[in-house]
Structure 1
Amino acid sequence: MNSKMLNPSILAIGFAGKSYSEDFSQPSRIQLSCKADYVNAEKKVLECANYLISNPFDRNNLNWESAETFLLLWINGTSDFKFKINKTVCNIIQSNMALISIYFAYAAKFLLENRDKSTSEKDICDNVLPLLLDYCKNLRN
């Protein structure tokens, strides 16, 4: 009986720890003013991208908005990677503009985790598009 009482408290502590680790209020304090800043921010960008693609779109979730804002600021300023949206992606996201952030999250994740692979627009699209479609198919999202 005592072990049953212990399990919910352990779960509560586990969930509390998870919510603290997903606090994306700090990226807004990261300075992005020179090339070194963008390189140093790559780990946080990957965290933001993973958070966005792992959670449903929610404008009322401050973590979601903070992660999205930081990711888009980094994408806009980094000189190490090129982010473009081709016609195929435009056709998919035209019905839901919120998917732009999800597409860029997958693209950033792909580029950061596959530096040795080709980074042509076609290769990025070929690797990211199936993931974006899977995100869209998930009813939770």
Structure 2
Amino acid sequence: MKKHILLLALGLLTCSGAALAQTYSVPTDYSFQAPADYARYDNQVIETVKWLEVTPQGKEAAQRQAANRFLLQWMTGTPAVSVQLQDYVGKLVGKEPDMLMLFMAGWSRYQLQHPDEKDAVVLNTEGLKTVLKGYQAGGFKRNKQLETLVPLQEKGTLSDWVKGQLKG
């Protein structure tokens, strides 16, 4: 019986990314005028970030572009989030605007879910985790720098690496 439950749970976990990709739809007809307008879309922001990080780059390009546009408009005006980009991020993601968006999206999602968090190491680490998840989902050009960060994330030492980048 335990084997069946374990297999069922494993099956659900492996299918969850595909299910999210099939059920996600980009918010439309949104308007950001007042702070309350931004807060109204908090759940959609979180859902959008989840979709972006599990959907391989190059798949569903029109939907990805609309999702990026929605997030960018939300990020630039929301009082709930303030993303700060460091030089190392630009060097790490290179000429991949979708990776830069993943970084900002991951930071935003985490700060939205943890409104009292102000620690730059934590917020940068969360942004990088989202970049790594998106990179591992596929579709991006090979990035040796990101590939060296995957084992750090797996070992739980990614934040130590980030801390070193922020000092430099």
Output the TM-score relative to the length of structure 1: 0.73
CA contact (8 A) 2:106 2:130 kept: yes
Out of 85-94 and 36-45, give the one that drifted further: 85-94
Alignment match, 2:131: 132
Alignment of 1:115-130 (within 5 A): 115-116=115-116, 118-130=117-129
Q: Identity of aligned pairs, percent?
A: 18
Q: Which amino acid is the alignment partner of residue 57 of structure 2?
A: F
User: What's the secondary structure of 2:97's corresponding residue?
Assistant: coil
Alignment match, 1:28: 28
Q: How many residues align?
A: 123
Relative distance call for 1:37 and 1:61 in structure 2 (3 A) is same
Structure 2: stretches of 5+ with no match in the other structure: 1-17, 141-168
Residues in 2 aligned to 1:127 and 1:102: alpha-carbon distance in whole angstroms: 10
1:96 aligns with 2:108: no
User: What's the secondary structure of 1:98's corresponding residue?
Assistant: helix
Q: Which amino acid is the alignment partner of residue 88 of structure 1?
A: Y
Shift of 1:140: 4.8
CA contact (8 A) 1:32 1:74 kept: yes
User: What's the secondary structure of 1:28's corresponding residue?
Assistant: coil
Relative distance call for 1:96 and 1:115 in structure 2 (3 A) is same
Residues in 2 aligned to 1:17 and 1:139: alpha-carbon distance in whole angstroms: 16
Q: Which amino acid is the alignment partner of residue 96 of structure 1?
A: E
Alignment match, 1:40: 40
Relative distance call for 1:43 and 1:63 in structure 2 (3 A) is same
Residues in 1 aligned to 2:59 and 2:83: alpha-carbon distance in whole angstroms: 23
Structure 1: stretches of 5+ with no match in the other structure: 1-14
What root-mean-square deviation, in Å, do the aligned CA atoms of Structure 1 and Structure 2 show?
2.6
CA contact (8 A) 2:52 2:64 kept: yes
